[in-house]
Amino acid sequence: MPTDGIPAPRNLAEFEERLRRVGGTLPKRLKQCAEYVAANPDKIAFATVADIAARAQVPASALMRFCQEMGFSGYSQMQKLYREEYSQKWPDYTTRLASLRNGGGETPSGLLAEFSEAGRSSIENLARSVDPELLRKAVTVLAGARTIHIVGLRRTFPVASYLAYAFEKMSIPAILHSGVGNLTQHHMLGEGDALIAITFAPYTADTVALAEAAAQRGVEIVAITDLPTSPLAALDALHLLVSEIDVGNFRVLAATMTLAMTLSVAVGARRRLL
Amino acid sequence: MPTDGIPAPRNLAEFEERLRRVGGTLPKRLKQCAEYVAANPDKIAFATVADIAARAQVPASALMRFCQEMGFSGYSQMQKLYREEYSQKWPDYTTRLASLRNGGGETPSGLLAEFSEAGRSSIENLARSVDPELLRKAVTVLAGARTIHIVGLRRTFPVASYLAYAFEKMSIPAILHSGVGNLTQHHMLGEGDALIAITFAPYTADTVALAEAAAQRGVEIVAITDLPTSPLAALDALHLLVSEIDVGNFRVLAATMTLAMTLSVAVGARRRLL
DNA sequence: CCCAAAATGGAATATACGTTCTGCTTACGG
DNA sequence: CCGTAAGCAGAACGTATATTCCATTTTGGG
């Protein structure tokens, strides 16, 4: 416990402020600690006490005293601060919503709040995780295609139908493979076409089958999927990964829709330039 | 040590590539590990074995076997890979989004940033603006309906199809009025049914027509729309208002999808209690 | 249907790490 | 120049964590 009544800093900014204020008044070794910590915030998140201490050229115990002097219970608590800052926390909805679901006694507006939060962070995560280069390539492929085929069944069908609508509006030739009437339309896939395949675990067989047929016919494939282990991985498709949250068996589609929208508008813009 | 001669991956990309190749052939528990790891790379950098294992719903030993199967000596070595990757990214992760945004609407990732922002604020706005009491009433109406009819055409069709999928999965009798084949299905609307009508300005005539037919037959209506002045206002429907942002002529459907999801899950929960 | 091989879960073990304690050194005031 | 208090380093400790081992279950082939 801290000998003096100084409380632990709540966030990084508060801590750095404190560092700045008291930094000058510390004894030699502790000042070394302060300087190293201030100069290498990124290292703190990962490294161990011994590691940091060695780099700052102080014994481990000095670093411990430093942490306690700053109001933390110890090194671990200080490190937690840095880790939180580092990975902006994306709360664990899978477990949270599971309990909520079992509890059952939730009000509709409570649910709305939960789903809003889930959708919001899904979208934020999407913006952070999508590889810009991959996205650019996907747009290039689609913009160069003669006809864009779209397949997404069951829970991804809303996304597929959205893409179809968007392309139609921009007068870009696109075909939505909806599976209506159980018609297979493999023969429509031709050289120079591209396919957008959307599928999440458990992967719909028909979607995978269509993608495989497309690959055989030399159709380029852009896959919107959740994991790099999806069956589409076997084909050499461009993989745009979206990690989204399931509630029960329902996928929050907010991020996927956002990605679909981006794709369609970007393709539209690129086509107009050609 | 790795029992087979597979060498440890040198970097994250190489590892993810390996995940993709062998991911499908792994036994159940190990596949669970593979999927969790692939979907939550950010967690790996910080969390402990026990932590990750719990989240992936496997015993710790399974996770260890997974790491070794992938060529690592153990969990620690795998974690090191993720930490290295992350410490490279760190300095600019905060500035990345900003630069994406400033990069402007020309590049695909610039667009993604814009749409993400649009979706995010639409959802936030939704959570604030929807009247809880109205939402509760809508759920009550839908939960009490014999059959739920759903209509949403053109750009709202993705939402309508999403609702249809959700209800079907929960074995709640629902009919999606898709307009396929230009068939009108007004005669299916009967006493004790309810209709979810989704339409935004400019209001699709067929949607409004169906809603009017429904009103005449004593079907209760839940309207998802953008303005209180919509044509559906004339009928005494419950109006759930969603103000969403248009980018170009494309409506970001993130908020509407979120609302749809809330409705379906809430109705499902309520029905189960009845 | 049975047997062998693979997979699995949990307990047991080893290790790494944070934290504390103690004896020694340095700085400072009288 | 001495005495006291603060600073310090390294060893010692206990805990948290990774890793291994083994008994049991499951899977797949003959």
Of A258, A252, A250, A256, the closest CA to residue A115 belongs to A252
Same domain, B132 and B251: yes
Q: Residues A221, A263: one domain? A: yes
Helix/strand/coil (H/E/C) assignment for every residue in A196-210: EEEECCCCCHHHHHH
* A77 in the same domain as A123: no
> What's residue B41's pLDDT?
85
Average pLDDT, chain B: 86
Domain-located, residue B75: yes
Q: How is residue A104 written in tokens?
A: 């059952």
Specify the length of chain A in residues: 274
Kindly report the CATH number assigned to the domain that includes residue B35: 1.10.10.10
Helix spans in chain A (H)? 12-22, 28-39, 41-46, 49-55, 60-69, 75-86, 93-103, 108-129, 132-144, 157-169, 205-216, 254-273
Look at residue B2 in the predicted model and tell me its pLDDT.
Answer: 41
Q: What angle (nearest 5°) sits at the alpha carbon of residue B71, between those of residues B68 and B77?
A: 75
A222 bridge partner residues:
A196, A238
Q: Quick one: tokens of A237? A: 């498709």
User: What is the CA A76 to C1' D10 distance in angstroms?
Assistant: 21
Q: What pLDDT, on a 0 to 100 scale, did the predictor assign at position A102?
A: 59
Whether A31 contacts A23, CB under 8 Å: yes
My answer on whether A76 and A105 are in the same domain is: no
A157 and B161 within 8 Å at the Cβ level: the answer is: yes
Spatial distance between the Cα atoms of A20 and A119, rounded to a whole number of angstroms: 39
Q: What would the mean pLDDT of B118-133 be, rounded to a whole number?
A: 91
Is residue B169 in some structural domain? yes
Distance A59 CA to D5 C1' (A): 22
Subunit contact A226:B258, Cβ cutoff 8 A: no
Q: In angstroms, rounded to a whole number, what is the distance separating the alpha carbons of residues B236 and B246? A: 27
N-to-C CA span, chain A: 67
Question: Between B108 and B164, where is the model more confident?
Answer: B164
Asked whether residue B5 is domain-assigned, the answer is no
Q: How far is the CA of B28 from the C1' of D21 (A)?
A: 21
Q: Of the given ranges (A71-80, A81-90, A129-138, A200-209), which has the lowest mean pLDDT? A: A81-90
Domain endpoint, select from A26, A60, A86: A86
- Same domain membership, residue A79 and residue A200: no
With contacts defined as CB-CB under 8 Å, which chain B residues touch A43? 87
Place of tokens 């994406």: B100
Q: Which of residues 149-168 of A touch strand C (CB under 7 A)?
A: none
> pLDDT digits over A194-253, tens only?
999 999 988 888 999 999 999 999 999 999 998 877 788 778 789 998 988 877 778 889
Name the nt closest to B31 by C-alpha to C1'.
Answer: C7
Report chain A residues whose CB lies below 8 A from the CB of B252: 257-258, 261
In a domain, B151, yes or no: yes
pLDDT at A46 over 70: yes
CA B203 vs CA B179, B180, B208, B244: distances in Å? 15, 19, 7, 15
How far, in Å, CA of A43 to CA of A33, rounded? 13
Residues 6+ apart with CB under 8 A from A22: none
- Decide if B104 is inside a domain: no
Would you state the pLDDT for residue B59?
95
Strand C closer than 7 Å to the CB of B101?
no
Do the Cβ atoms of B108 and A136 come within 8 Å? yes
Number of domains in chain B: 2
Q: What average pLDDT does the structure give for chain A?
A: 86
Contacts of B146 by beta carbon, 8 Å cutoff, 6+ apart: B173, B190, B192, B193
Contact B264, B170 (CB under 8 A): yes
- DSSP tag of A230: S
| pLDDT for res A77 | 92
pLDDT in tens, A97-134: 666 665 555 788 888 988 898 899 889 888 888 888 99
CB distance A273 to A261 below 8 Å = no
- Residue B48 pLDDT: 95
Q: For an interface test with B, give the residue of A162, A169, A242, A263 to mutate (most B CBs within 10 A).
A: A162
> What is the predicted pLDDT for the residue at B5?
54
- Give residue A95's pLDDT: 65
B149 and B73 co-located in one domain: no
Give the rounded percent of residues in chain A with a pLDDT score beyond 70.
88
Q: Tell whether A78 and A112 lie within a shared domain.
A: no
Residue B175's pLDDT is 94
Q: Is the CB of A74 under 7 A from strand D?
A: no
Q: Yes or no: say if B82 and B36 are a contact pair by the CB < 8 Å rule.
A: no
In a domain, A42, yes or no: yes
Higher-confidence position of B199 and B40:
B199
Q: How far is the CA of B163 from the C1' of C23 (A)?
A: 74
Task: Place A274 in a pLDDT band, splitting at 50, 70 and 90.
Answer: low
What is the rounded distance in angstroms from the CA atom of residue B152 to the CA atom of residue A232? 31
Residue A1 within any structural domain of the chain: no
A141 and A266 part of one domain:
yes
**Residues of chain A with pLDDT > 90: what percent?**
44
A58 touches strand D (CB under 7 A): yes
Domain that holds residue B41: 12-84
Strand partners, B250: B247
| Angstrom distance (rounded) from CA A205 to CA A215 | 15
Q: Which of A66, A86, A106 is the last residue of a domain?
A: A86
Residues in chain B: 274
Whether residues A136 and B265 touch (CB distance < 8 A) is answered with no
Q: Do residues B132 and B262 both lie within one domain? A: yes
CB A139 within 8 A of CB A266: yes
Q: Is the pLDDT of residue B234 over 60?
A: yes
The identity of residue B272, as a single letter, is R
Do B35 and B157 share a domain, yes or no? no
Among B84, B100, B135, the domain boundary falls at B84
On whether both A255 and A127 belong to a single domain, the answer is yes
Angle between helices A75-86 and A12-22 (to 10 degrees): 130
Please tell me whether any atom of strand C lies within 7 Å of the Cβ of A68: yes
Residue B190 has pLDDT above 50, yes or no: yes
The residue that leads in pLDDT, A272 or A134, is A134
Distance from CA of A94 to the nearest CA of B (A): 9
| Shortest alpha-carbon distance between residue B203 and chain A (Å) | 16
| In a shared domain, residues A134 and A200 | yes
In angstroms, what CA-CA distances link B241 with B131, B154, B198, B202, B224? 9, 19, 10, 15, 6
CATH number, domain containing residue A130? 3.40.50.10490
Q: Is residue B94 one of the residues assigned to a domain?
A: no
Distance in Å, alpha carbon of A191 to nearest chain B alpha carbon: 25
pLDDT tens digits, residue range B151-175? 999 999 999 999 999 999 999 999 9
